[in-house]
Structure 1
């Protein structure tokens, strides 16, 4: 007996434009998970009437690509997502429409037309700001110096498949301690994106292990930037800028 052919569903409409979006997680919305944002963005796209491209088949999904989201509980000024649309759109109009459709604290900062190449390939490192209430600048500086003197500092984190140990030192490109602000020591750090990802809490664990850091309370953490790593001065460039603006990455 001949096998009956199963229909494949309606064909997908091909996208004509890709848009890259930078958004921020601020205030209480820093506690939103990646899945929370995905649901909020899909609702916002529908409300804003963005003509999304969809996958083919009987269960089509909007073509949205998420890249390297910050851990739940950390604020961020530099989260990225890419969408595909079936009509050419003005990026600024999309930014305004989506920003109005999302809750305050999930803020659309920038929308640009995607250039060739994968967005994920341009997200090579992150710049983080950590504020330590009640911690002195010198104590933080001494812990960072001891950490940086080590060639390797292993930390352990629990993944879906169980605990896993990895080196947190290799991923840390630079640590810069700033002046205290109202009894709050400030740390800026550039961390290279690796597999597994070295998160700010991993670096804090390493600072306790190798540097003896004992902050009186957990720091507030904000991602200020992520993008191409500029090897000349260990800074993080804008991944949405033209290639000529991120030379040396």
Structure 2
């Protein structure tokens, strides 16, 4: 039998950087796969000295963490890259930001610490903008939020790659409240906006799962158009205060 060719061994990363990036405007419709392709092209255009995996098909060492669903805007997406030489994080950030399409913005870069990135992303804060068909949408939104917070469990269903899955959406909700028009939340009259803080549990509960739970508990909570999801922050969740700490702080 012919012997298999030995697999090429790549040098291990000399430096790891963690990046925070945003998906803004029309870029919120970029899928995770599309972003991955755009990011790898940006790495090449920016001349970032990437480390590669070993094997027959080496690929750049990029680790993604808890990407927002397609269609959601976000100010707090995170990834980690491995480099073959030490680089200035700010220079890498600026070069990648310039190489990415409009709306995909690299906002921060720091050297990776010893704690795995995923362990630093235990919760996220969201704004949900929607229009309700109810006569008094603000009252309906407040009543729906109160009903969910008062419930012990609220099971919802979501179609996954392995089929329909049923799980408790209430368990992940740490904070949920309507934003008031004119109260600093920049909410237009006639519209409804919710502030939601989620713990990252298994399975991961998404904002649309919470909307399904609200509709199940309060039938007149019925969005007219697809809601607009906006991740405001993502990081270390304080279990007592439901505040989200910056994973790059300290």
So what's the TM-score if we normalise by structure 1? 0.93
Per-residue deviation, 1:58: 2.4
Write the deviation string for residues 4-51 of structure 1: whole angstroms up to 9, x where unpaired: 542223320221100000001111110110000000000000000000
In 1: Cα distance, 2:153 partner to 2:117 partner: 30
Per-residue deviation, 1:232: 2.7
Secondary structure in structure 1 of the residue aligned to 2:96: helix
Match runs of 1:114-125 below 5 Å: 114-125=112-123
In 2: Cα distance, 1:174 partner to 1:56 partner: 44
Say if 2:197 is the partner of 1:190. Answer: yes
Give the root-mean-square deviation of aligned CA atoms.
Answer: 1.3
In 2: Cα distance, 1:195 partner to 1:134 partner: 30
Q: How many residues align?
A: 240
In 1: Cα distance, 2:223 partner to 2:12 partner: 53
Deviates further, 163-172 or 128-137: 128-137
Contact 2:132 2:222 in 1 (8 A): no
Match runs of 1:14-93 below 5 Å: 14-93=12-91
Say if 2:131 is the partner of 1:133. Answer: yes
Per-residue deviation, 1:210: 1.1
Match of residue 145 from structure 2: 144
Match of residue 207 from structure 1: 214
Secondary structure in structure 2 of the residue aligned to 1:228: strand
In 2: Cα distance, 1:10 partner to 1:238 partner: 38
Write the deviation string for residues 90-133 of structure 1: whole angstroms up to 9, x where unpaired: 01000100000000011101111101021011110110001123
Contact 1:137 1:186 in 2 (8 A): no
4+ runs deviating over 3 angstroms: none
In 2: Cα distance, 1:229 partner to 1:72 partner: 23
In 1: Cα distance, 2:213 partner to 2:55 partner: 47
In 1: Cα distance, 2:112 partner to 2:93 partner: 14
Secondary structure in structure 2 of the residue aligned to 1:60: coil
Secondary structure in structure 1 of the residue aligned to 2:60: coil
In 2: Cα distance, 1:115 partner to 1:22 partner: 14
